[in-house]
């Protein structure tokens, strides 16, 4: 203490009085922080100092290391203090910063939130790796270290609560306001500190970070105090956070941390969480699971016989060893492209089911499971098509109901992880070939959750393409169609077509989804049918004129919409989407252009004629077709070219007879 110059008192905390100091022998007068922690007696002080000495050896980029520790006797209080010295942080601590931001009700950007979460998780993981329970985690325990050439900060953890201090009775009699607001319910109840006690405190610190725009200081700390006892308050806070940051993954992470001690996740489980992994990637953390899964410690345990069967055996035999199971499944997911994984084997299904259930937080492991399912189901779906099963044959795939249920749970859990979502959508597409599985999906209201992906990945044409393909594939089943009423499917598909009209994969699947939805008009609400999806199809058609498959699908969808609603026929004439600044599209002229490109492709021409046939059911459309001389300019040409095709020639004569006001029985006479 004789070597320390005290400049001023900085703060009074739960465990310590804080001073700004410097060393007498330091000519540069570098500022440091001195913390004085009162102890019960000299015996406790000596024990606490020995515990603090351990912290001198800690070295990590998010840890405040201790530079010195010693014991001081205060004659006025007749009490010993254990003192420790650490670096001074000019920008202060996180609590001060959050209070300042909260006073202005400003939102902290999600990018900053994620980086701070990563700093906190990595710091506490390092402590727990060294068998240290911090015991005093709260915003004021984190210090702000400026990042070079940036206005941002990294968070460094300090204020360790060593066991002797945390148990010291006198410490608990001289508490500052809100001292235990961030502590878990088990601490309030006087139970011993546990590694998971720090997890609760991490979560409440994250709550503080995420709610600066929601509550003032008094309101927040009132919620913090009561959420241990009132689940409705916790639900309210998490709902409010979701509305600010729109991240279900963040909310689910907090839910898993703010629960009873026995149900609370560990730091190890948190690190495997996909959301946390994404946060850790932003700070280049060593805890990021790389493409090989950081499985070097387990890969050497795999059998030398590099076969799917041997990998399945080792996974089953070591089902409780997460690392070894992950290494085995990663290898299976690589081998499965060359060798078959017997998905119909009940024991294999049981293994995958247990892995999805027991290791639901490990997104790398779940990714391997999804890859295995996707490849296997793709092969099964192709086998089914090749066999061309009769309609009387059993159209089912034996998949354990719990396996399907757990697959769906993982799909919902990792909604923020694009790779898993794309694999899940492919699995939905393959499973749509099997009636018994789609019936189970219908009970899950699967379309509702697939539509939610549109909002999350709207700017990604590839993901939107798979969403549309999944909708198309699933909506071919009556059980699914019955569950979609009032879900506004056409509204989503219209936006998708307008946004991604130049992306053929996405546009074609969106139009196919519209066809599937229109296959049963009774399942469509009146409001849904009013959506101007006709114009979106035409705009996309103009962008994809040379794709025969897209043209066929677009014409089938247009014919279906026009048959449902007269307004769709009117929109066909001169239309442009409301959010498009481009010139209007003339539907009749566009179909003429399409015909000239594809006039030698019978299937395309037949679809074009079907659109004309549906338009001719409305008198106003017949007048319009007569004004542009559709019969003379196009229908007669099609009739001549396809005079040997009864279906096309009949449609041409039917439309032409209406244009020329001929009685329809002329058609039969002409054909005869």
Residue 672 confidence (pLDDT): 42
Same domain, 187 and 249: yes
Same domain, 255 and 170: yes
Asked if 470 and 425 count as a contact pair (C-beta separation under 8 A), the reply is yes
Rounded Cα gap, residues 421 and 453, in angstroms: 9
Same domain, 509 and 615: no
Q: Of the candidates 199, 195, 179, 211, which has an alpha carbon nearest to the alpha carbon of residue 258?
A: 199
Angle at 77 between CA 75 and CA 78, to 5 degrees: 55
Residue 298 confidence (pLDDT): 65
The verdict on residue 541 lying in a domain is no
The verdict on residue 243 lying in a domain is yes
Asked if 254 and 89 count as a contact pair (C-beta separation under 8 A), the reply is no
Asked if 430 and 470 count as a contact pair (C-beta separation under 8 A), the reply is no
Same domain, 300 and 184: no
The verdict on residue 526 lying in a domain is yes
Angle at 42 between CA 41 and CA 47, to 5 degrees: 105
Rounded Cα gap, residues 659 and 638, in angstroms: 15
The verdict on residue 227 lying in a domain is yes
User: End of a domain among 258, 284, 310?
Assistant: 284
pTM above 0.75, yes or no: no
Q: Of the candidates 267, 279, 245, which has an alpha carbon nearest to the alpha carbon of residue 199?
A: 267
Same domain, 151 and 137: yes
User: End of a domain among 235, 268, 284?
Assistant: 284
Task: Report which secondary-structure segment, H or E, holds 82.
Answer: strand 79-87
The verdict on residue 542 lying in a domain is no
The verdict on residue 94 lying in a domain is yes
Q: Of the candidates 329, 399, 391, which has an alpha carbon nearest to the alpha carbon of residue 365?
A: 329
CB atoms near residue 619 (< 10 Å)? 9
Return the beta strands (E) in 626-665 as ranges: none
CB atoms near residue 490 (< 10 Å)? 23
CA 644 to chain CA centroid, nearest Å: 55
User: End of a domain among 396, 423, 443?
Assistant: 443
Angle at 668 between CA 632 and CA 612, to 5 degrees: 40
Residue 349 confidence (pLDDT): 93
Domain count, the chain: 4
Same domain, 79 and 185: yes
- Mean pLDDT (10-residue bins), the chain, 672 residues: 81 76 86 85 82 80 87 86 88 93 95 96 92 86 89 88 51 50 83 85 96 95 90 93 90 91 88 87 84 54 83 92 88 84 90 92 89 89 60 60 92 88 95 86 91 90 95 88 78 91 94 86 55 87 93 94 84 59 72 93 95 92 88 88 92 90 48 42
Same domain, 364 and 244: no
Residue 18 confidence (pLDDT): 87
Same domain, 179 and 85: yes
Same domain, 265 and 299: no
The verdict on residue 536 lying in a domain is no
Same domain, 404 and 390: yes
The verdict on residue 431 lying in a domain is yes
Same domain, 451 and 439: no
**How many Cα atoms occupy the beta-carbon half-sphere of 513 within 13 Å?**
32
Same domain, 62 and 198: yes
Q: Of the candidates 354, 303, 349, 297, which has an alpha carbon nearest to the alpha carbon of residue 323?
A: 297
504-517 vs 548-564: helix crossing angle, rounded to 10: 30
Q: By residue range, what is the domain housing residue 252?
A: 1-284
Asked if 563 and 614 count as a contact pair (C-beta separation under 8 A), the reply is yes
């Amino acid at each position: 203490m004789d070597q320390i110059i005290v400049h001023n008192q900085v703060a009074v905390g739960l465990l310590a009085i804080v001073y700004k100091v410097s060393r007498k022998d330091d000519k540069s007068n570098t500022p440091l922080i001195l913390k004085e922690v009162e102890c019960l007696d000299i015996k406790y002080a000596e024990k606490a100092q020995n515990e603090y000495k351990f912290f001198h050896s800690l070295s990590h980029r998010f840890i405040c290391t201790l530079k010195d520790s010693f014991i001081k006797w205060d004659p006025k209080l007749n009490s010993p203090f254990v003192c420790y010295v650490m670096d001074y942080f000019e920008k202060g601590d996180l609590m001060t910063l959050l209070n300042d931001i909260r006073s202005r009700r400003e939102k902290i950007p999600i990018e900053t939130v994620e980086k701070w979460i990563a700093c906190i998780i990595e710091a506490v993981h390092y402590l727990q790796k060294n068998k240290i329970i911090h015991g005093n985690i709260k915003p004021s325990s984190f210090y702000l270290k400026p990042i070079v050439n940036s206005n941002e900060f990294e968070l460094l953890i300090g204020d360790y609560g060593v066991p002797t201090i945390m148990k010291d009775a006198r410490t608990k009699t001289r508490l500052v306001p809100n001292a235990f607001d961030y502590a878990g319910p088990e601490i309030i109840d006087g139970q011993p500190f546990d590694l998971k006690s720090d997890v609760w405190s991490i979560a409440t610190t994250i709550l503080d970070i995420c709610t600066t725009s929601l509550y003032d200081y008094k309101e927040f700390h009132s919620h913090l105090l009561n959420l241990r006892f009132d689940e409705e308050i916790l639900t309210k806070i998490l709902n409010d956070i979701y509305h600010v940051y729109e991240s279900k993954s963040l909310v689910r992470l907090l839910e898993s941390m703010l629960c009873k001690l026995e149900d609370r996740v560990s730091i190890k489980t948190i690190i495997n969480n996909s959301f946390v992994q994404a946060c850790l990637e932003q700070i280049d953390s060593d805890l990021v699971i790389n493409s090989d899964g950081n499985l070097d410690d387990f890969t050497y345990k795999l059998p030398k016989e590099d076969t799917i069967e041997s990998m399945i055996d080792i996974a089953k035999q070591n089902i409780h060893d997460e690392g070894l199971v992950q290494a085995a499944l990663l290898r299976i997911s690589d081998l499965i492209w060359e060798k078959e994984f017997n998905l119909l084997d009940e024991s294999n299904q049981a293994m995958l089911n247990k892995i999805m259930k027991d290791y639901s937080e490990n997104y790398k492991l779940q990714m391997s499971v999804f890859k295995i399912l996707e490849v296997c189901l793709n092969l099964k779906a192709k086998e089914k098509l090749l066999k061309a099963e009769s309609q009387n044959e059993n159209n089912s795939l034996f998949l354990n109901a719990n396996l399907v249920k757990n697959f769906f749970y993982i799909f919902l859990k990792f909604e923020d992880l694009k790779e898993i979502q794309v694999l899940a959508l492919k699995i939905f597409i393959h499973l749509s070939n099997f009636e018994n599985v789609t019936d189970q999906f219908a009970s899950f209201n699967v379309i509702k959750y697939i539509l939610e992906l549109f909002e999350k990945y709207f700017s990604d044409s590839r993901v939107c393409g798979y969403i549309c393909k999944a909708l198309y594939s699933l909506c071919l089943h009556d059980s699914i169609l019955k569950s979609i009423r009032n879900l506004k499917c056409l509204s989503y598909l219209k936006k998708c077509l307008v946004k991604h009209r130049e992306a053929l994969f996405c546009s074609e699947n969106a139009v196919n989804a519209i066809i599937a939805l229109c296959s049963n008009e009774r399942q469509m609400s009146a409001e849904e049918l009013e959506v101007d999806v006709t114009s979106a199809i035409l705009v996309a058609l103009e962008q994809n004129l040379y794709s025969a498959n897209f043209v066929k699908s677009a014409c089938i969808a247009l014919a279906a919409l026009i048959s449902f609603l007269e307004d769709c026929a009117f929109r066909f004439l001169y239309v442009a989407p409301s959010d498009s600044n481009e010139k209007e599209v003339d539907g009749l002229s566009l179909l003429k252009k399409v015909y000239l490109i594809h006039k030698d492709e019978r299937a395309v021409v037949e679809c074009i004629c079907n659109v004309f046939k549906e338009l001719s059911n409305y008198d106003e459309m017949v007048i319009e077709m007569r004004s542009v001389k559709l019969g003379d300019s196009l229908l007669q040409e099609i009739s001549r070219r396809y005079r040997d095709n009864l279906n096309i020639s009949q449609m041409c004569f039917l439309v032409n007879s209406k244009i020329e006001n001929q009685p329809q029985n002329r058609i039969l006479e002409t054909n005869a």
